[in-house]
């Protein structure tokens, strides 16, 4: 079992600390360990990032792009190694891991270029003896806290724009999948980033979190994870008015309206619902199908779900890997049991799959569901697709919006007028229209309501790491 280290100020440290062991969710095997760091190591990382910021922020975006492009090349040279590791430490099927590594690299590549387009402004003056300008400055030291379900892409979506903007970073990956982050930081070292520009701490999330939130030198925290932890960070940020970007939980509705192409809709739901065994923030969590198309959709969809192969993600043709851990499996079990007790029907699946020492759940379709059921109120984070029949477009929209979340939604309709009308009424930051996989580096990703604050990706993604400084120049 490999023992990994933290990376602070250009040095690999922490092998003398208590170990945080990572297990393969497909079979319970020990994958490796990272150090269980806390306040002291986090402060050391902030010291290094603060020191490095003084020079890194003075480099040109062209110089920074050079490092980022080198990193992009290195990631693409190591797709297979990174993908294998990702699958072993958090379970997703190997082809999805390969896809995530390439998707992760795309943020580094895109922001390497976007850093060159952080323009200031010259504003028309109200006085002949004044000139008004807006300058742009990197916000400062950034802490990036990431979840386990996309251990690479959630990190590069933050690091890419932060580094391109001239910020330095302290990374805190999830304790469930920290080794992919270690490997990514090894590639940063190979890319030659100056010491202190990229730092990595692992260990106690509450202690690392508190240290980050109470250190005034950290000017920005960018977080992806659950809404509950996001709310804790909002509270902790108040004391220093720390800048926050929050990518939080979702509960995506997926609407199949009666003029949809059923095959396109089935394909879209399969892509959205079952990627990463249903453990994505934008996966369809509740499916509303209009009465006129309901029977055909349920039949074809259920047939496709029956074909899904469950198992260890390292096996090439597996579609559904394990859930991340026992707590994840327990949540799915509770939601399915609750729905059955309240009258739902299991069309396929509906139970755990006992395999080695892994935590697997059978791909599941449930019908006769309604709003009273837990799975229609909260993220499931598992391979369970609940389908509710609706009579009208208006009913589908009302049900879709009846949530405190606002991350992603999906609409399947062949009518441009109808699609436009429906989407204009949906309160979600991302909408896939006849598209079950809408993410890309060059577009804004993020949620409304309790799904977050701010956007990652696209030009908004780098604006999050830049402050405007208005300068009024008196001419006499």
Binding site for ligand NAP (CB under 6 A): 145-150, 154, 172-176, 205-206, 209, 224-226, 229, 232, 247-250, 281, 379, 407, 447, 452
CB of 43 to ligand NAP, least distance (A): 15
Residues 420 and 83: their CA atoms lie apart, in Å, by: 38
The DSSP symbol for 18 reads: P
Minimum distance between the CB of residue 121 and ligand NAP, rounded to whole angstroms? 30
**C-beta of residue 139 within 8 angstroms of C-beta of residue 220:** yes
Q: State the burial class of residue 129 (Cβ atoms within 10 Å of its Cβ: 0-12, 13-18, 19+).
A: exposed
- 268 vs 176: CA distance, rounded Å: 29
Least distance from C-beta 464 to ligand NAP, angstroms? 13
Q: How remote is the C-alpha of 236 from its chain's centroid?
A: 22
Q: Active-site residues: which are they? A: 247, 281
CB of 466 to ligand NAP, least distance (A): 20
Least distance between ligand NAP and beta carbon 40 (Å): 17
Looking at the Cβ atoms of 57 and 205, the one nearer to ligand NAP is 205
For residue 228, CA distances in Å to 224, 234, 447 come to 11, 10, 15
Token digits of residue 452: 């977050």
**Three-state DSSP state, 285:** strand
CA–CA gap between residue 392 and residue 415 (Å, rounded): 15
Phi/psi of residue 222, each to 5°?
Answer: -115, 120
Burial of 198 (0-12, 13-18, 19+ CB in 10 A): buried
Q: What is the closest distance, in whole angstroms, from the C-beta atom of residue 147 to ligand NAP in the complex?
A: 3
| C-beta of 163 vs 221, nearer to ligand NAP | 221
Please say whether the beta carbons of 249 and 223 come within 8 A. no
Which CB atom, from 224 or from 272, has the smaller least distance to ligand NAP?
Answer: 224
């Amino acid at each position: 079992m490999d023992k990994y280290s933290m990376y602070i100020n250009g040095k690999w440290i922490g092998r003398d600390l208590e170990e945080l062991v990572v297990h393969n969710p497909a079979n319970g095997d020990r994958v490796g360990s990272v150090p269980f760091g806390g306040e002291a190591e986090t402060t050391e990382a902030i010291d290094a990032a603060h020191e490095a910021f003084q020079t890194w922020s003075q480099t040109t975006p062209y110089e920074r792009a050079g490092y980022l492009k080198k990193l992009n090349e290195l990631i693409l040279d190591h797709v297979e190694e990174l993908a294998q590791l990702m699958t072993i430490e958090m379970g997703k099927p190997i082809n999805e891991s390969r896809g995530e590594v390439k998707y992760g690299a795309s943020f580094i590549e895109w922001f390497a270029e976007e850093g060159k387009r952080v323009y200031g402004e010259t504003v028309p003056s109200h006085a002949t003896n004044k000139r008004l300008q807006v300058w742009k400055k990197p916000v400062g030291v950034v802490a990036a806290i990431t979840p386990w379900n996309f251990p690479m892409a959630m990190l590069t979506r933050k690091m890419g724009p932060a580094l391109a903007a001239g910020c330095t970073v302290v990374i805190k990956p999830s304790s469930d999948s920290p080794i992919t982050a270690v490997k990514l930081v090894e590639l940063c070292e190979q890319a030659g980033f100056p010491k202190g520009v990229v730092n990595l701490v692992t260990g106690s999330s509450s202690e690392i979190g508190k240290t980050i939130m109470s250190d005034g030198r950290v000017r920005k925290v960018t977080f992806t994870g659950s809404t509950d932890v996001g709310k804790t960070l909002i509270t902790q940020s108040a004391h220093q008015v720390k800048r926050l970007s929050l990518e939080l939980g979702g509960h995506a509705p997926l609407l199949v309206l009666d003029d949809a192409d059923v095959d396109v809709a089935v394909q879209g739901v399969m892509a959205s619902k079952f990627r990463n065994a249903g453990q994505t923030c934008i996966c369809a969590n509740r499916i509303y199908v209009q009465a006129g198309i309901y029977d055909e959709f349920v039949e074809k969809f259920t047939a496709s779900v029956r074909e899904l192969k469950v198992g260890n993600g390292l096996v090439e043709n597996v579609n559904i890997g394990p859930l991340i851990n026992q707590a994840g499996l327990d949540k799915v079990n509770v939601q399915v049991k609750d729905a059955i007790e309240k009258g739902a029907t299991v069309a396929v699946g509906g139970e755990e799959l006992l395999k080695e020492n892994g935590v697997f759940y059978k791909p599941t379709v449930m019908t006769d569901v309604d709003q009273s059921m837990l799975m229609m109120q909260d993220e499931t984070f598992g391979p369970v697709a609940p389908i509710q029949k609706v009579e009208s477009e208006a009913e589908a929209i009302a049900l879709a919006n009846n949530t405190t979340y606002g991350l992603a939604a999906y609409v399947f309709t062949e009518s441009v007028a109808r699609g436009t009308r429906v989407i204009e009424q949906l309160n979600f930051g991302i909408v896939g229209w006849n598209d079950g996989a809408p993410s890309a580096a060059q577009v804004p990703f993020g949620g409304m309501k309790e799904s977050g604050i701010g956007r990652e990706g696209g030009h908004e993604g780098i604006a999050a790491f830049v402050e405007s400084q208005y300068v009024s120049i008196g001419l006499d």
